[in-house]
A = this chain, B = another copy of it.
Amino acid sequence: MTAKTAITPATHTTPPAKFSHGVRKGNILQVAGQVGFLPAVPGQPPTVAGPTLREQTLQTLANVRSVLEAGGATWEDVMMLRVYLTDTAHFAEMNALYNDYFADLKEAPAARTTVYVGLPEGLLIEIDALAVLG
């Protein structure tokens, strides 16, 4: 029996519902959908990093990374990233930011699916991740 552990980075707000920012069980780590919220300030509602795709993409990647690291993983362990955008016109810019962000990756980069969905107002990007450790 392997225990399932909730992962809550210090930078994160408490989820607004009964879910975890990430969970790990054995060598599998799942990161919940992250958005561009700045590190949590106790007693304050979540604040988005800014109105631009650049600000939100970089903050969202930072938030995914926080969950990975709090669960003992790194980007090198990530198998799949799901990127949700709200506008097909954002693809090229997101890709450029993404490439810069992962320029130093040593291991094989993760697989990825990018699709265009609806998100809560003001949010331009959401990313979740599946990692396999070990």
Binding site for B on A (CB under 8 A): 1-6, 15-23, 25-28, 30-33, 76-77, 79-82, 84, 88, 91, 95, 98-99, 102-103, 105, 107-121, 126, 128, 130, 132, 134
Q: Are B80 and A30 within 8 A (Cβ)?
A: yes
Q: Are A25 and B132 within 8 A (Cβ)?
A: yes
Give the docked Cα–Cα distance between A112 and B81 (Å). 14
Q: Are B33 and A115 within 8 A (Cβ)?
A: yes
Residues of B within 8 A of A84 (CB): 113, 115
Q: How far is the CB of A42 from chain B (nearest CB, A)?
A: 21
| Other contacts beyond A20-B110, A20-B112, A30-B110: 18, CB < 8 A | A2-B134, A4-B76, A4-B107, A16-B95, A17-B112, A18-B99, A18-B103, A18-B109, A19-B111, A25-B77, A26-B27, A33-B111, A80-B128, A84-B113, A88-B119, A88-B120, A115-B126, A116-B118
